[in-house]
Structure 1
Amino acid sequence: MKNKYSYKEITKKILENKEEFDDIQEELIHELIHGKVSEDANTVDENKLSIGDKMADKISSFVGSWPFIIVSVSLIIIWIIINISYIIKPFDPFPFILLNLFLSCVAAIQAPIIMMSQNREGDKDRIKARNDYKVNLKSEIIVEDLHLKMDEIIESQKYIMEKINRLENEKK
């Protein structure tokens, strides 16, 4: 008994019902059926990185770490100790206006760099979500095909059992 529905027919069925699958393109369907659909989002993303993107990632990873916090707090404490001691003439006396200006500048530069890195992570998450969607869709198509094949097997078994029963009845 020939398979009632092939992958091509299932693909055609999906493509005919575009309102249900409006964001799926024909080439995606063929890719789903004939090949591996999962991609490594990190590899896909790495290929598009500019020098600025790589720098933003490295800076963000350092700025969001304990070593950065420890170094920053240490430098601030040293700055304050130097400027309140009477050993040398203070270059930024209390209320430490120069220190505040420096910290504000660092924060003003850090914020957009961190946001660039977060935007890239968002892009990577969208790639992962699209990848998950393709894998799930392929799994659904394959499961549907397996259901159809199982139905055909059951029908053929019924047909064979009916023939066997008829032959046994004719022998009696």
Structure 2
Amino acid sequence: MHQTPLADLAQRLLRKSPHALDPEERRVLSSIDAGTIVSRDAADEADAHASIGDQLADRVAAVGGSWGFIIAFTVVLLGWMLLNTDVLAHVGMAFDPYPYIFLNLMLSTLAAIQAPVIMMSQNRQASKDRLAASLDYETNLRAELDILRLHQKLDGLVLDRLAAIEAKIDGLAKTMPSA
């Protein structure tokens, strides 16, 4: 019975049957068989599969979690309060006087929308982290298997060299006169 190259590699390097291989192990062994590289950038992989909603969630989280947003939002809130307390209140045109009920409604709405969007971005980041860990495992496994294969080749060369030396010694011993 003739084994496929993948089955041979699985048995020889991992001591597993091809059916017992994880997807990562299968990809690594396939790349060894094909002579290709296995390392990939997790960020590129995740971005390639990101939907428009994922990209939007990342942008909202990046803006909403920045000092620029906090400072700008603070300025807007203080401006709103100043405008409705002092400026427009003196002319009787304050559209949201103290206790700023409309402002509270807008802040609650913003928080209700922003929180799930930031959670989506965090979930996506966790997914990126899992992908990065998986890709790191593949790269590490490939490096470990390549080192193992090099050791096997070196061991084979050393054994061949020792066998040649033994053959020379045996040949010399046979040609030497016995005392």
TM-score by length of 1: 0.81
**Distance (Å, rounded) in 2 between the aligned partners of 1:103 and 1:36:** 51
What number of residue pairs does the alignment pair up? Answer: 166
Distance across 2 between alignment mates of 1:94 and 1:123: 44
Q: Name the residue aligned to 2:31.
A: 31
Per-residue deviation, residues 99-157 of structure 1 (Å, max 9, x unmatched): 22211111111011111111221222222111111111111211111111121122122
Residue 7 of structure 1 and its aligned partner are, at CA, apart by: 8.0
Cα distance change on mapping 1:23 and 1:30 into 2, 3 Å: closer
CA distance in 2, matches of 1:59, 1:26: 38
Q: Is the aligned partner of 1:94 residue 2:94?
A: no
Q: Determine which of 151, 157, 163 is the counterpart of 1:153.
A: 157
Q: Distance in 1 between matches of 2:172 and 2:164?
A: 12
CA distance in 2, matches of 1:33, 1:131: 18
Residue 105 of structure 1 is aligned with which of 100, 104, 109? 109
Matches within 5 A, 1:1-172: 9-13=8-12, 14=14, 15-16=16-17, 21-22=21-22, 24=24, 26=26, 28-34=28-34, 35-85=36-86, 86-89=89-92, 90-169=94-173, 170-171=175-176
- Structure 2 length as normaliser, TM-score? 0.78
- The 1-side partners of 2:39 and 2:58 are apart by 25
**CA distance 1:44–1:23, change in 2 (3 Å):** closer
In 2: Cα distance, 1:119 partner to 1:131 partner: 18
Contact 2:24 2:138 in 1 (8 A): no
- For the 8 Å contact 1:83–1:92, the answer to whether it is kept is yes
Shift of 1:75: 0.6
Say if 1:38 and 1:134, in contact at 8 Å, map to a contact too: yes
Contact 2:54 2:120 in 1 (8 A): yes
Gaps of 5+ in 1: 1-5
Q: Taking structure 1 as reference, are residues 39 and 153 closer, same or farther at Cα in structure 2, changes over 3 Å only?
A: same
| Runs of 5+ consecutive residues of structure 2 not aligned to the other structure | none
Provide the rounded CA distance (Å) in 2 between the counterparts of 1:17 and 1:158.
35
Deviation at 1:81, TM superposition (A): 0.9
- Give, in whole Å, the separation in 1 of the partners of 2:139 and 2:24: 13
Letter in 1 for 2:114: Q
